[in-house]
Amino acid sequence: MNPVAAAEGERAGERIQKVLARAGLASRREAERWLAEGRITVNGQVVTQPGTRVDAQTDHIKVDGQRVRGAGRRVYYLLNKPDGYVTTVRDPQGRPVVMDLMAGVRERVFPVGRLDYHTTGLILLTNDGDLAELLLRPASACPKVYHAKVKGTPTPAALKSLSKGIVIDGKKTLPCRIRLLRDQNATWVEVTLTEGRRNQIRRMFQMMGHPVAKLRRVSIGPISDRGLPPGRYRALSEAELRRLREALS
């Protein structure tokens, strides 16, 4: 079957992003990046067009030369990411990736969203592409809470301005919640976001003259775990997964 024809919508099937997500390989957004990078083939031909329609039962779909198969059992893990790890499955620069920390997980999982290289804290990994898509889509507005150590002490006016939204790269950030945390040795702030623009918190406070020295994510929607050590992971409980699904519905 000709993937070029599929890209033009000339046959039945499913969008390739959906097939890859259901197979537990990536969110649909991540699959689009793979397409752009030329990492996906259909019946031996490289496919780069988002929306290409394929038949998962009859087409030979490969990512990085590996045949795409069903995901099997759905699994959900919470990882406390340490500093110095890239939140991807692989890194062209050869830096450590979060998958290096998932020893013992037999299923093929992927991180949902990203934390910056030097940002620490909680991240979900799963092979459930549908759940990942729900978490990543802007309409879900899933709140994520961060603790940031900043230089100096922001004024109430500065915090109010940030909470209302400021313009970054020509686009205003969404309103967020910000509050000072008590710490006699440093200034920490708690920031609750419902969007995830690249380096957003670091750039917000940099623009206010209070650079971020440390940044960690402490919760994703209803999921948190202050006792999970850096570099360690655990499976989500049924109750946690239920609360997460309810929060996204």
Q: Which residues contact 231 (CB under 8 A, 6 or more apart)?
A: 80, 82, 101
Please say if 116 is a catalytic residue.
yes
DSSP symbol at 86: B
What six digits make up the tokens of 139? 């309409």
| Spatial contact of 121 and 80, defined as CB atoms under 8 Å apart | yes
| Spatial contact of 164 and 204, defined as CB atoms under 8 Å apart | no
CB atoms within 10 A of CB 237: 12
141: left (phi over 0), alpha (psi -120 to 50) or beta: left
CA distance 210 to 205: 5
Supply φ then ψ for residue 190, to 5 degrees.
Answer: -105, 125
* Annotated catalytic residue, options 116, 128, 130, 169: 116
Q: Which residues contact 221 (CB under 8 A, 6 or more apart)?
A: 135, 142, 143, 144, 243, 244, 247, 248
CA distance 81 to 112: 13
Q: How many CA atoms lie within 13 A of 105 on its CB side?
A: 24
DSSP symbol at 61: E
Residues acting as catalytic residues: 116
